[in-house]
Amino acid sequence: GGIKLPPALLVTDFDSTLTLNDTLSSLVSLSPAKSSFEKASAFYLSSFAEVERLVHAGRLEEALALSEHVEHAAIDLVVQHRMLAGIAAEEIVRASRETQLRPGALDALRAAAASGVGVHICSANWSPIWISGALVNCADALTGIHTNELEMDMSGKSTGILRRSVVGPADKARCFARLCAEHEMARREGRACVFVGDALPDLTAMLDADIGILIGDNQLMRSALAIIDGVAPLRELSSAVLQDGTLLPGLYFASSWHDIATVLLLERSALGRP
């Protein structure tokens, strides 16, 4: 037998995991200083090329450490030049509601909460206002949103300063470990802690999870997973449930949030199915 379903805890990344695309560029487009972003963006892309080179060379630990460094350095530039200053909170909320979510994502989060699963977002995004705006239709399902916070002044406009809490892979893993610790009793009873992600910053948390789930077709992530295939092979989620209705711990690939909801038994209890 494996791990009992539904799980105790479902932690998911936001950008390109719950959403169809990365939403940071949409947030940036609200900034009066958006033209200065080309500098930060060019810096980030050239620095990240080295992370990619390390992954392709099979040097995964170095790649993860460097990616953390690169993310911080890019944020340093953004903060130093106040590139995100002067955005009104209501503009963030309004724009966030245009976010395109992956099909079935909201239903899965709602079903998880209705099945008694703790649902958390752990994201390197820059605004909890943005994330909660995008997920407004399943707000009741969310126990917590853990992300970096664009500071707002008394008049409700952004100062351009970012309070950092989730920047790179190690931060996500720390956030996930803290949430898992809060569900220790359920874990002792054999219920899982699940992490869903799409890209390299999610990898450490996915490996730490009882069940780590990859969604989307991020090629760098596929290369990274190929390196550790001997230790943690990637299995297809939809065909993974054992005879006794449990799931073996490990890494899985899901083609959709519908698959995630079905396999983790989120829907059965929530939708009143037998």
Q: What is the pLDDT of residues 10-55, one digit of tens each?
A: 999 999 999 999 999 999 999 998 888 888 899 999 999 999 999 9
Among 18-27, 187-196, 238-247, 251-260, which is the least confidently predicted range?
238-247
DSSP secondary structure string for all residues of 53-68:
HHHHTT-HHHHHHHHH
Mean pLDDT of 189-214: 97
Residue type, 241: V
For residue 238, the model assigns a pLDDT of 86
Q: What is the pLDDT of residues 127-145, one digit of tens each?
A: 999 999 999 999 999 999 9
Residue 140 CB neighbours (<10 A): 10
Q: Report if residue 170 sits inside a domain.
A: yes
Beta-sheet pairing, 211-215 with 250-254: parallel
How many domains does the structure of the chain reveal?
Answer: 1
For residue 82, the model assigns a pLDDT of 94
CATH of the domain at 169: 3.40.50.1000
Starting at the earlier edge strand, list the strands of the sheet with 234-236. Answer: 144-146, 118-122, 4-12, 191-197, 211-215, 250-254, 234-236
Q: Report if residue 79 sits inside a domain.
A: no
For residue 241, the model assigns a pLDDT of 86
Structural domain harbouring 16: 4-27+89-270
For residue 33, the model assigns a pLDDT of 87
Q: Report if residue 44 sits inside a domain.
A: no
Q: Report if residue 68 sits inside a domain.
A: no
Q: Report if residue 129 sits inside a domain.
A: yes
CA distance 22 to 19: 7
| Structure tokens given for 197 | 């992600």
Q: What confidence tier does 230 reach under pLDDT thresholds 50, 70, 90?
A: confident
- Residue 166 · residue 146 · CB < 8 Å: yes
* Whether residue 73 has pLDDT greater than 70: yes
Q: What is the pLDDT of residues 93-137, one digit of tens each?
A: 999 999 999 999 999 999 999 999 999 999 999 999 999 999 999
Query: Which of 217, 203, 207, 226 lies closest to 255, judged by CA?
Result: 217
Find all residues with CB under 8 Å of 169, minimum gap 6, and list them.
64, 67, 68, 200, 201, 202, 203, 204, 205
For residue 25, the model assigns a pLDDT of 92
* Whether residue 274 has pLDDT greater than 70: no
- Residue 110 · residue 138 · CB < 8 Å: yes
Q: Report if residue 158 sits inside a domain.
A: yes
Q: Report if residue 157 sits inside a domain.
A: yes
- From first CA to last CA, the distance across the chain in angstroms is 22
Letter string b/e over residues 29-43, b meaning 16 or more CB atoms within 10 A of that residue's CB: ebbebeeebeebbeb
Q: What confidence tier does 85 reach under pLDDT thresholds 50, 70, 90?
A: very high
Q: Report if residue 254 sits inside a domain.
A: yes
Q: What confidence tier does 272 reach under pLDDT thresholds 50, 70, 90?
A: very low
* Whether residue 273 has pLDDT greater than 60: no
